[in-house]
Chains A and B, each alone.
Chain A
Amino acid sequence: MASVRAASRLLSRRTISHVKAISTQYPVVDHEFDAVVVGAGGAGLRAAFGLSEAGFNTACVTKLFPTRSHTVAAQGGINAALGNMEDDDWRWHFYDTVKGSDWLGDQDAIHYMTEQAPAAVVELENFGMPFSRTEDGKIYQRAFGGQSLKYGKGGQAHRCCCVADRTGHSLLHTLYGRSLRYDTSYFVEYFALDLLMEDGQCKGVIALCMEDGSIHRFRAQNTVIATGGYGRTYFSCTSAHTSTGDGNAMVTRAGLPCQDLEFVQFHPTGIYGAGCLITEGCRGEGGILINSEGERFMERYAPNAKDLASRDVVSRSMTIEIREGRGVGPEKDHVYLQLHHLPPQQLATRLPGISETAMIFAGVDVTKEPIPVLPTVHYNMGGIPTNYKGQVIDYTDGKDTVVPGLYACGEAACASVHGANRLGANSLLDLVVFGRACALTIANEHKPGEKLSPLKPSAGEESVANLDKLRFANGSLRTSEIRLNMQKTMQNHAAVFRTGSVLKEGCDKMDDIYQTMEQIKTFDRGIVWNTDLVESLELQNLMLNAVQTINSAEQRKESRGAHAREDFRDRVDEFDYSKPLQGQEKKPFDQHWRKHTLSYVDPKTGKVTLKYRPVIDTSLDEQDCAHVPPAIRSY
């Protein structure tokens, strides 16, 4: 104790007397690899060791230790048509996913994902992932939202493979353990600042080492972005504080578009107050949502699927119940999730994690009382646009063009498998399938040890200049104040139900808040472990994501999937699918909304420009798996 006190006295004396000119010389270490992966969550790790397995010299740059990435918090499970609980076919899973996406998903990417699903789950099982088992030792599959048999006509499907209710935790730890077998170089606690782009080609990444404040440029022929989502643009979300959309922002600053950012999923069951997630698996195991009258209200909104309807349908139903005065609690502003009618040992074996979460965050014993829940921001369907192989694309002259050297996978990417709404347990599947797809595409198109294309010696200069500006920022508003303003604005103006006038007001407010970034004030002038600086950089990234989200939402004048407009309640497709197609005239591209939004931002002014790109309606093999033509979506 005495030595610690003495040491701290010495340290404090040292800092007070140490007044020297603060160095503004930034040492830049150059590294050369065959491939660099940004992000070490489920998708990043799978891509990184997939590349190492194929013989590529790979670097994995991550701001968090791999097992701390947000994948670890995923609870529900991973969908695959293994057929362990009943007969199953991946084409039924394909149909469910296309329907779940409200026909905004690209059917070739969905075909790829659902066909690869059983192989992906078996691969994970071979890596040692401890799936829950049935009596005869096969992988236990539970019911999950939006999953059906025989193209929607055969009742509820049980195809979500799970590990009790901590599937993401197991998945990430399994992948991390597996990745140690390969010789990937990990750069942990390195914050990626920007992409190194030259002549429209991505030549690497520039990153800040948080430990010693040095800048590192990772030159590589292939860059994979797997940085996750941006839940933290909202005040109440289930995401970690580190979900700040860094990859989306890096791509935006490089002048490339982001796709479908207005589609933000509100998970029906986030704990009221805390925002912590209660998995959909609870409803899969038999849990029900009840209102103040004790009624299972989902029977009215989704007569067939009831509580296991798609997440956007359930979130909207809950919001309507609360709005019509049937909410619970003193403020009548949430509903209950009831689990105490289930046998206690089923709760203990299949749902141990949420039993504990409910006790800690809501003070509720799930075997006796219901859990208070509210729709909470959970997932971003949108992200960096890619094709089904994982290559990042731009849309010029009416065609998709591949950006050479750049790939994306996971929540950061938009392949687009989830379209306007994601089905539960499809995200973990998306991570492993497209993480592997990026590695396979790179292995097909390139060889290990390829010569790197030349790079300007001053590449990355603007990123360092921005870093320096933020480090010495001396305005009037703290980072936390600007962040709170942004979060409250997004929460109030771009929530479950959206209205034109409220969205417009939100866009103007967000524009003002974007301008206030000029008056940001940081306090820590050092370069070693400067968390004030890193949080400010993350805020810059969040801002770019937030302005694109709210502007895209304001422009989209229809309701589709998770984007529900009060003033435009219907889906606007090229035909009216509620009536027979005979005799209907196809609407031109600019008069319907079954298209992807591509958003660009000018980082200096915060002005958002929008373009639109058609949805891919053909599967990879029409003979094997015919595409699903659009129809009215009801559960």
Chain B
Amino acid sequence: MRPKKRPVERQPTPEPTPDNIEADHELFLQAFEKPTQIYRYLRSRHVVLPVFLPRTLHYMKERSSVTNKKRRTFKVDSILASVAAKHQKDHQNRSKQDSLTVKFNGFFNHDVQTDAEHADVEIQILKNGHRKRKSAASTCASQISLGKTRIPINPASSSSSPDNGPMITHKFTHTNGSLARSAGLFVKVTCPMRHNLPNGLCNGDLHSHDEPPQKRRKNGRVSFHEEDPLLFGAALRVYDRNQQCLLGNGQYQVVLADLQPLEAPPGRAASWLSVQDTQALEPFEVFDKLPTIKFNLRWDEGGSNSLASNGSSSPRLSNHLSGTKASKLREANQSTPRKRLKLQYVFQYGNGELMRQQTEVREDLRCPWCSLLCPTLFGLLKHLRLSHPRFNFIYVPQQKGGQIEVTVNDMYDGSYIGNPQDVHSHIGYAFSRLGPVRRSPVTHVIVYRPKRPGASLTEFLEPETDGTINRQIVQGHNRLYYHTLTCQPMRPQEIDDDSEAENSPPWLFKKTVVMIDEFTDVNEGEKELMKMWNLHIMKQDYIADCQIPKACFKFVEEHGVEILEKNLSRNFLIHLVNLFDFSLVRPEVVQRAFAMLENLRDSREVA
């Protein structure tokens, strides 16, 4: 699967000497090894810890097993109606009391030799309440024993008559239907052991069955200790979640599995496990090799509705192992029509003028890097472009299938565009004992539904444009900011104060004072007033001539007391006359401003 392992097909090289090939291969590795390794690493990480399901992607719709057709027409109001309809149906079902009759033909186990003729069989009914997914760990399944009976072990097929056999009947009611949605029959066979059991049989058993090794060991131990009888069991589902009867009338032969005395609960902790690809026996061999039980099943009153729809009354083979098989078959069926498709990957590499290429032909729509099976060619190309941006992909249509040119993307920007809080843990912290805490705002794209053009392969004929490469999906302040002057990280609480909010930094105030003080031939009174006025102008940021009268009044308002205390009022008047000389103010302004000061002096003297 790795590109580097691929057979090398060379196109324009004149003489494929081994040296040449090797050098060529070197170059190939140089170009493609690193990104390929990265993508393979990501792939295996995704298998263990998936971030998302591919089927949720718009170009992978076909992978989704659930059609969303109903969503289009769905209305919230319709929920009540549908529930009501269902309820009605339940009521109808409830009126019919189904009585289930199971007649046992016998227990068949050719491997286990017992001297006992009868085995105990017990039928339990398993009711699973599907409350919530969360509570799946703690099973809410209830087991009710329907009855016990003895059945013959390995009876001759002729001798077994359906009528005479032991029989258990049970009346199904839907009284607790609200809790227990699905019901299953659990057949438990207890087979007493013969006392001197030859070991060899057990060993043979070990080899012939392809069971998990753990089971094997335990199985062996049980037989060695000879204390407990062998326990077999099988579960059959009667009603599924939707209250549909799956079990029709008919004769059943059920393969029994070994039951451990301490069996793990049926609902395990949810985890991602890959299904083990157990190369099982041939479908029908199973019934010969493994212990089975045969019984007749009959619904007595008003058989289930689903029976008719299923339309098959033949004995049903319910096989645990067939589950995986079936799905595999389905997959195979799906991919068969595209078997003729040929996809040619052309890996182009080399430096500058000398471009080289290697090709590889694939016949399926799996991604060569993450082996994701894409449903369509469009999906595959879209996946390649979006999930493997370290490469450039260009699609060249051909008669059969197509050609995908792969080059290394030199423009790839691997910078981090995630949440800065994931990197700098201390800048944002949501929970504090002292109350709510401000965090740096981060934008996540949760739902992104742009207007997409229809799926067409033409978009892959040309290389990606800059705009699509540099798309910045996560926007906002996705980084840690620093204080300008101290270079210290900025906390989320501090983000709102702008260090430049003030027009004049403090040092500038000091500077102007120092500069005025440096004059040798300016007298003290003038200096004091000039400093005061400069600081006033700098604080208030006056910019226009027309503001100066206001500035004068404000100056008296704010510094009037200081002027009086420092005995600068004549200097202030001179300053006002100076402004008049520079044609900034009218004499009225001078008079008014000075009057303000005099009034202030007056009020101070009175007080």
A complexed with B:
no
Task: Give the A-binding residues of B (Cβ under 8 A).
Answer: none
